[in-house]
Every structure is written in C-alpha cells, then in structure tokens.
Structure 1
C-alpha cells in the first residue's frame, strides 16, 4: 500500500510539472512569436524604404546617363566647354550607399536568441526537478533528541527546533553535542538517493546550518564544519549563504532561500542544496562516503528556528 501511495504521489507530481511546463511554453511561444512579428514588420518596412531609395538613385543616374549620351553627340569643343558642369553634376549624384538593414535592426536580429534564455533556463530547471522527483526518495526524517544540544528546544513531534539561551535539562550521553548547537536526524543512510526540505526562520543575527555528517562526527568539544571533518553543509545567515568547504565560500544567489531542499546520492557522493520554492541551485558537494551519514542541523540566535517540511508542501508554495 505504501508503494502504491508513493507511485501515485510521483505520478501526480509528474503531471503537475508537465502542466506547468506546458503553460510556460505556451506563454513563451506567444511572447517570442509576437517579437518575431514585430521584427518581421520592421524588416518589411525597412525593405520598402530601401527599395524607394534605390529606385530614386537609379532614376537619377538614368537621367544623368541620358544627358551624357545626348552630349556625346555634340562637337568635342562644346562638350569640353561644358565638362566642368558635367563633372560637378556627376559628383553630386554619387550613390548614397543605402543600407539593406540598419545597424539598429541588425542588432535586434542578432540579439533575438537572447530572448530564448528564460525558455532554456526553465527547461533546465524542469529536467532537474523531474530527475529529482523520479530518482530521489522523500526522506521522512525526524530530529533525534538524544543528539540535540541543550540550547535547542525540540517540538514534541521532533519536526521543529528553536534556539534558546536557556539550557534544557538534557541527560548527558556520548551522542549529544555539548558545544556546537546542533542536532542530527534519526536513522541515517548507507546508500540510495534521498531528499528532504527544511524551512528556516532566522532572527536578526541568527544562522542555520544544513547538510549531512558522517557517523563518527565529533560530538564533544569544538566542531569544525568542513568536509575534512565529515561535514558537508551550507550555512544560512542573516542576509547571506555560505558553503562550508575547506574554506567557507559566500554564495551569490538571486534570493535568500527560506526553504532548502537537501538531496543526497550516497553511491555517487553528491550532497546537493537547492531553493525548494524557486528550484535555484545553491551548492553541490562531491564526497566519497564510506560509512553511515546523517542529516545534520545547526542553529544559532535567539528566536531562530527551523522545521522539517514535506516535499508536497514545498512544491505547492507559489
């Protein structure tokens, strides 16, 4: 029954994505065809103006040729006496070299392929999203209270966490973080493709760290957030996002994500982050996993919080 539900959900998502793409393609077709119609009209107008100009030049030269032919029959002395006037008229009748296509119109024609960039971007996002929907299994994860730092307040269903400066009465255990305000999810993965969504709500000055960690991650004392320590994560701070590589790298994004989709391909070794609403890629780590990995969350700043969201809920947001 569970498999049937998953198949039905994936089927509905595929139908929804194709319907969205179909509507977008129709809109883009109307926009691009309208632009081509305007270009075609401007080309025809310019061609008519060009034809009128060329016809006028031909008429003027034909008249001059007829006059020269007539003067050719006169005695040489008369022709030479009038030669200066003839040369001046020839000089003033030079062709103005009309342009078949104006520079401005030519530039518009050359720039037209750029108008299809939104179409190419949407197709790329569609294929990436479809690949995720078909190949990645939604991970129904929950937070593990036995690993949670005492300053993190977990909801009863272990789907939300909030930062508090007040320490909770939490029994000490080897699994619990005692310095880094972090928490892991239950279970973990030793293979397959998995994806989940995290909704982040930061207070001014707050931050949230998302990603995966290896099973033997350091729980006591200082935790260095970098791949060499078994941490593959990004940090959302107030106003910017950083990839926590060997050296933290601030990322240039179109907008600050409030919902982040984390996807893991264990065999390939990919940890991918994307804006769950806009599908804008955030960052991808390449790793070589040799042991179980766990979804990982860090939180800082009074009033900052995060929650685990269903993929269905994220997909339905505008």
Structure 2
C-alpha cells in the first residue's frame, strides 16, 4: 500500500488523515514551504518510491470533473502536452511501471484500455 507525502502536496490539495486519498479544495491551505512541494501543479507524490523492478498500482479518481482535463480535453503532462482520446472517463487508473524497461503505462483499470505510455531512461527512484 502506498501513502501520500504531505511535503509534496500542492496547497490546493487536502490529504486524508491516513494519507491514502486526496481532494481538491477551492482555496490554498497555509502550508510550510518545502523544496519538494508542488507549487504550480495540482500534484502529490507517494512517500515510497521504486528504484528497480516492475510495479503496478491503481488510483481511484471517482466522478470528479477536474482531473487531468484541460479545456474539455484530457492531456498527458508531456512537453508539449499530448491530447488523449478517451472513449469514457476512467474512474480508476491502473499504473504499470517497468523501471529497467524505462516506461510507465496508464490504463483504464475497469476495462484495461490503454490511456498513455511514457518512456524514459530512469536513473533515479520513481515516486508514484
């Protein structure tokens, strides 16, 4: 089981007491400055990372309207952004990391439809 790292959470994100879920709030919280904190993106990382091997985890995104959606289109956070063609809005995302293979793939966990795959040469620990 993964837990979320409060030191990385954007001030608009509220972590649950058990640090296993997060929700977006309308105004930023007063949080201490931290070098790991996401100040401009609504992101949070897990406390635990992976430096080798293959790993799978799932993220429940529920019915929210705001996740990963920009101007009525879903995008992968690449540079520049990559538009995604999704037949339906996923409620649960499956994430598969192959550290040595150098890729991370995202799936609709309900039907295993592929969403997007990032490729990179990972040289450091990867944090979900």
Deviations 1:60-104 (A, max 9, x none): xxxxxxxxxxxxxxxxxxxxxxxxxxxxxxxxxxxxxxxxxxxxx
1:150-171: CA deviations, max 9, x gaps?
A: 2111100111111112222322
- Judge conservation of contact 1:261–1:276 (CA < 8 Å) in 2: yes
Cα distance in 1 for partners of 2:84, 2:90 equals 12
Q: Superposition pairs for residues 209-288 of structure 1, below 5 Å?
A: 235-236=68-69, 240-288=73-121
- Structure 1, residues 294-316: CA drift from partner, whole Å, max 9, x if none? 11xxxxxxxxxxxxxxxxxxxxx
Q: Please report how far the alpha carbon of residue 183 of structure 1 lies from its aligned counterpart in structure 2 after TM superposition.
A: 1.0
User: Is the 8 Å Cα contact of residues 239 and 256 (structure 1) preserved in structure 2?
Assistant: no
The higher-RCO structure (CA 8 Å, 6+ apart) is 2
The 2-side partners of 1:257 and 1:199 are apart by 9
Size of the aligned set, in residue pairs, is 128
Q: Is 1:290 equivalent to 2:119 in the alignment?
A: no
Q: TM-score, with normalisation over the residues of structure 2?
A: 0.87
Structure with the larger helix share: 1
Following superposition, the deviation at residue 174 of structure 1 comes to 1.8
Q: Which runs of 5+ in 1 are unaligned?
A: 1-139, 209-234, 296-318
- Give the counterpart of 1:181 among 31, 42, 58: 42
Which structure's CA Rg is the greater one?
Answer: 1
CA RMSD of aligned residues (A): 1.9
Paired position in structure 1 for 2:13: 152
Given the alignment, which residue of 58, 68, 88 partners 1:197? 58
Deviation (angstroms), 1:144: 0.5
Query: Aligned partners of 2:72, 2:27: CA distance in 1, in Å?
Result: 26
